[in-house]
Chains A and B, each alone.
Chain A
Amino acid sequence: MFHRFRGGVHPPDMKAATRHKPVETLPPPERVILPMSMHEGSPCEPVVRPDQEIFMGQIIADSAAVVSSPIHSPVSGRVQSIELHPHPNGTRVLSIFIENDGRDIPHESIHPKGSVESLTSEQLLRAIRDAGIVGMGGVAYPAHVKIAAARGKCETVVINAAESEPYITSDHRLMLEAPEEILGGLRVLMKLLEPKRAVIAVESNKRDAAEALRRTLPGKTKIELVTLRARYPQGSERQIVKSITGRETPPGELPSDIGCAVFNAATAAALHRAVTTGQPLVRRIVTVSGSAVANAKNLDVRFGTPLADIFKATGGFREPPAKVMMGGPMMGVAQHDLSAPLIKGCGALIAFAKGDVPAKGDEICIRCGRCVGVCPAHLLPIYLYMNERNNRLKELERLRLNDCIECGACAYICPGRLHLVHSMVTGKQKLASVKKEAG
């Protein structure tokens, strides 16, 4: 039996368009735009000024806050300006514009940090922080903070290569093309966390990737390759921990509180590169796909590249896109301005033609209960929806709205086409504002 969690859905995976396409490197654009908030946590402050010469990999923004991560220049060149610019999250964020001189001259700080064995844990953590590494599965939580929080109590470290969102194959390609980087990253984590178990988790629909990893594993190793049932949201942190260890992360706690630390496969590869080559996080693999895209591709893109440029590089649109998402179609963020730049947590850009955008219609709940059956957080989305609509906030609390992980399984399956996730998010905001007023 595959490892499993309760609930979930299995949408058509749509990965065939890109799963066999080797990653192509996209040349950096003439100008990159780096928002001060590319991660979860406190935004950075620019540490460069306009007209300053910049080297590739140089830190251009940083923060003294604990939960934050520095931002590096993905190109060498000159700072053009620092101003507000559209961010993929829909707001406008202070961003550094850098003119690319096309020479990619590396900054002096980029050099191998030494072998994993020779470095102390403190040196490793320092290197990870300085490289600006954040979770690359979507939330972009600073990796050094997560590792520090899990140290001393970690029993199981998990490399999350589930990639359960439809369309996305960026981690799949990474496993096929650079499995040694993922394993290298896992070794860094094992040194830092000293876990009893080290697991690489792959969904059952990516057997070739699992095979590539298996071939890379040394003969004798304690690293386990685990096959997960292909089911969304298998890649969600709490669900993957449940699938692998059988443990459920208690409400209000983190997987680290029950001895688990989960890192995305691309994050692991970035850790490996940061230690062995000293390269900070300035690029990532992005799946560009969807019915409006002329040629679906996997691209290696520098951060700060405008989304429009990325689509252009794949050959543009087959027809005018009706919807563009950063991330997968289940949890991705709809974009309204394609001048927004690529940021660290974005593994996919999906563009839908008109026919793939569900038509607006009446929302009628027929009480079929499918949302209850698929909710991986064990909630009653139907009642959360009704109570949110009627502003019954006490009920929202009793029904544990804040346990909702917003995976979208309920809204996906709903035959009445209710906008359930929208309702959950609105309900959470209502609860938060009431709490604020109460002091």
Chain B
Amino acid sequence: MDEQLTVSASPHIRAEESTRSVMLDMLIVLSIAPLPLAVYFFGWRSLSITLLSVTCCVVFEYLYRKLLKKPNSLGDLSAPVTGMLFAFTLPVTAPYWLVALGAFFAVVVVKQLYGGLGKNFLNPALSARVFLSGFASLAVYVRPLLEEGERVPVLGPFNAAAVAQATPLSVLKDAEQLSLNGLPLNVFSWQDLFFGQIPGNIGEVSAAVLLLGGLYLLIRRVIRLRIPLAFLGTVALLTFLFPRGLPEGDTVSLWIFNTSVDYMLFHLLSGGLILGAVFMATDYATGPVTPRGQWIFGVGCGALTVFIRTFGAVAEGVWYAILLMNTVVWLLDRTCAPRRFGRRWLRRE
């Protein structure tokens, strides 16, 4: 009987949570919250883009590991999560071949070439999106809730120009750069911005739904509050302190917002900020592991986002901000270790 006893190092019990269960939670949140809303706002093509992206990620990961004779890693479910997140950063007009190309870049170039899950230092979905950002066809956004006939079809040609509409952030950028007096952003109401009835990438438009999803992840302890809070808090603080487009005395040069709170809310609710803060910056592999490092990482993401949105040529800065912060994670991990236990209590004389 004794030969059958397993001898191994302690501990002899493990928490239920596994890599797979963590990824499954992510998949559940992404598919029950932002995805149906994307279909509602932008039509079935949102779903087909997402499905294609997920399929490509899974197939590329499988093939890569098969060809290199590495153990199959599909069971950890990280490939479909990358697929969904990547799809959510795309506009509904994205051509399918670009979706496939992006999925290849995300899974093979950014993730597997660096050793696979946990070894990549850049967020795969965001890297792929930035890799493709030069394609003009990915800069075409359409109005949400189009009539059946006007919607971008799942298959077949479409005339995007007829239904195109600039995103709130690009409207703001244009207004600032061209100093267009009275180009009002009030085509978008606060409700539209909050619930997501605005042009944008398919998974990023609805602040409300993304925040709810984040709440679920927080309760399930898949993510911690530090990074999203620091990220959003920094954006809120900086935009509140340095608003633009407010009335300046009598000279109404660029009057878009009434108060700095308006300016702050506009930045918080537009673009990929909440998707980025809740679902991308919290990526384990590409974020810091220590509490202090996570606070600094979040603040850095927020500051870079505002910096790029304010001074950059592009309207949106979230992707670049997160990727830039990804590159300093090693430094944060090295310098932000917890205080040594007992250091505060030096020997009594």
Interface residues of A (CB under 8 A from B): 6, 9, 11, 90, 166, 238, 247-251, 253, 257-259, 320-325, 329-338, 350, 352, 356-358, 362, 364-369, 372-373, 375-380, 382-383, 399-400, 403, 406, 408, 411-417, 419, 421-422, 425
**Can you show 5 pairs from A to B with CB atoms below 8 A apart?**
A322-B6, A333-B10, A338-B5, A366-B284, A399-B337
- Determine the distance from Cα of A352 to Cα of B11 in the docked complex, in whole angstroms: 13
B237, chain A: closest CB distance, angstroms: 25
- Determine the distance from Cα of A379 to Cα of B71 in the docked complex, in whole angstroms: 31
Beta-carbon contact of B345 and A320 below 8 Å? no
Beta-carbon contact of A422 and B341 below 8 Å? no
- Determine the distance from Cα of A251 to Cα of B288 in the docked complex, in whole angstroms: 26
- Determine the distance from Cα of A417 to Cα of B22 in the docked complex, in whole angstroms: 13
Beta-carbon contact of B18 and A417 below 8 Å? yes
Beta-carbon contact of B13 and A412 below 8 Å? yes
A314, chain B: closest CB distance, angstroms: 16
- Determine the distance from Cα of A415 to Cα of B14 in the docked complex, in whole angstroms: 9
- Determine the distance from Cα of A436 to Cα of B26 in the docked complex, in whole angstroms: 49
Beta-carbon contact of B12 and A323 below 8 Å? yes
B69 within 8 A of A: no
Beta-carbon contact of B117 and A364 below 8 Å? yes
> Closest chain B residue to A324 by CB distance?
B5
Beta-carbon contact of A372 and B290 below 8 Å? yes
A347, chain B: closest CB distance, angstroms: 15
- Determine the distance from Cα of A364 to Cα of B15 in the docked complex, in whole angstroms: 15
Q: Report whether over half of chain B's contact residues are helix, strand or loop; otherwise say mixed.
A: loop
Beta-carbon contact of B7 and A329 below 8 Å? no
Given A90-B7, A253-B342, A338-B2, the answer on whether A417 and B288 have CB atoms closer than 8 Å is: no
- Determine the distance from Cα of A85 to Cα of B266 in the docked complex, in whole angstroms: 75
Interface residues of B (CB under 8 A from A): 1-2, 4-15, 17-19, 21-22, 71, 73, 76, 78, 116-118, 224, 284-285, 287-291, 294, 333, 337-348
- Determine the distance from Cα of A11 to Cα of B12 in the docked complex, in whole angstroms: 11
- Determine the distance from Cα of A365 to Cα of B118 in the docked complex, in whole angstroms: 6
Beta-carbon contact of A412 and B289 below 8 Å? no
Beta-carbon contact of B11 and A421 below 8 Å? yes
Partner of B13, one of A166, A238, A399: A166
A404, chain B: closest CB distance, angstroms: 10
Specify which of A6, A332, A369 lies most central, judged by the most chain B CB atoms within 10 Å of its CB. Answer: A369
Specify which of B11, B294, B340, B344 lies most central, judged by the most chain A CB atoms within 10 Å of its CB. Answer: B11
Partner of A373, one of B11, B18, B22, B291: B291
Which residues of A are found within 8 Å of B10, using beta-carbon distances? Answer: 325, 329-334, 406, 408, 411, 421
Beta-carbon contact of A251 and B340 below 8 Å? yes
- Determine the distance from Cα of A352 to Cα of B71 in the docked complex, in whole angstroms: 30
Beta-carbon contact of B341 and A248 below 8 Å? yes
Known: A258-B347, A380-B338, A382-B289. 19 other contacts (CB 8 A): A90-B7, A166-B13, A250-B346, A251-B342, A320-B4, A330-B13, A334-B8, A338-B1, A352-B12, A357-B12, A368-B289, A369-B287, A378-B341, A400-B340, A403-B341, A408-B10, A412-B13, A413-B15, A415-B18
Partner of A369, one of B9, B76, B290, B340: B290
Beta-carbon contact of B17 and A415 below 8 Å? yes
- Determine the distance from Cα of A350 to Cα of B338 in the docked complex, in whole angstroms: 34
Which residues of A are found within 8 Å of B6, using beta-carbon distances? Answer: 322-323, 334, 357
Beta-carbon contact of A415 and B21 below 8 Å? yes
B106, chain A: closest CB distance, angstroms: 16
Which residues of A are found within 8 Å of B340, using beta-carbon distances? Answer: 251, 378, 400, 403
Which residues of B are found within 8 Å of A400, using beta-carbon distances? Answer: 340
Beta-carbon contact of B21 and A258 below 8 Å? no
Beta-carbon contact of B338 and A364 below 8 Å? no
A240, chain B: closest CB distance, angstroms: 14
Which residues of A are found within 8 Å of B1, using beta-carbon distances? Answer: 320, 338
- Determine the distance from Cα of A84 to Cα of B109 in the docked complex, in whole angstroms: 59
> Closest chain B residue to A330 by CB distance?
B11
- Determine the distance from Cα of A368 to Cα of B338 in the docked complex, in whole angstroms: 16
Which residues of B are found within 8 Å of A358, using beta-carbon distances? Answer: 13-14
- Determine the distance from Cα of A294 to Cα of B349 in the docked complex, in whole angstroms: 56
- Determine the distance from Cα of A26 to Cα of B199 in the docked complex, in whole angstroms: 76
Which residues of B are found within 8 Å of A364, using beta-carbon distances? Answer: 19, 73, 76, 116-118
Given A335-B5, A411-B11, the answer on whether A380 and B290 have CB atoms closer than 8 Å is: yes
* Shortest Cβ-Cβ A-B pairs, 8 listed: A369-B289, A408-B11, A422-B9, A250-B342, A378-B338, A248-B342, A329-B12, A366-B118
Partner of B284, one of A369, A377, A411, A419: A369
> Closest chain B residue to A376 by CB distance?
B341
Beta-carbon contact of B285 and A367 below 8 Å? yes
- Determine the distance from Cα of A249 to Cα of B344 in the docked complex, in whole angstroms: 9
B242, chain A: closest CB distance, angstroms: 32
Partner of B7, one of A166, A334, A383, A419: A334
- Determine the distance from Cα of A417 to Cα of B21 in the docked complex, in whole angstroms: 13
Which residues of B are found within 8 Å of A412, using beta-carbon distances? Answer: 11, 13-15
> Closest chain B residue to A323 by CB distance?
B6
Which residues of B are found within 8 Å of A377, using beta-carbon distances? Answer: 341
Partner of A258, one of B78, B337, B345: B345
B161, chain A: closest CB distance, angstroms: 43
Beta-carbon contact of A336 and B15 below 8 Å? no
Beta-carbon contact of A421 and B9 below 8 Å? yes
A241, chain B: closest CB distance, angstroms: 10
- Determine the distance from Cα of A258 to Cα of B9 in the docked complex, in whole angstroms: 32
Which residues of A are found within 8 Å of B11, using beta-carbon distances? Answer: 329-331, 408, 411-412, 421
B295, chain A: closest CB distance, angstroms: 13
Which residues of A are found within 8 Å of B9, using beta-carbon distances? Answer: 334, 419, 421-422, 425
- Determine the distance from Cα of A412 to Cα of B76 in the docked complex, in whole angstroms: 19
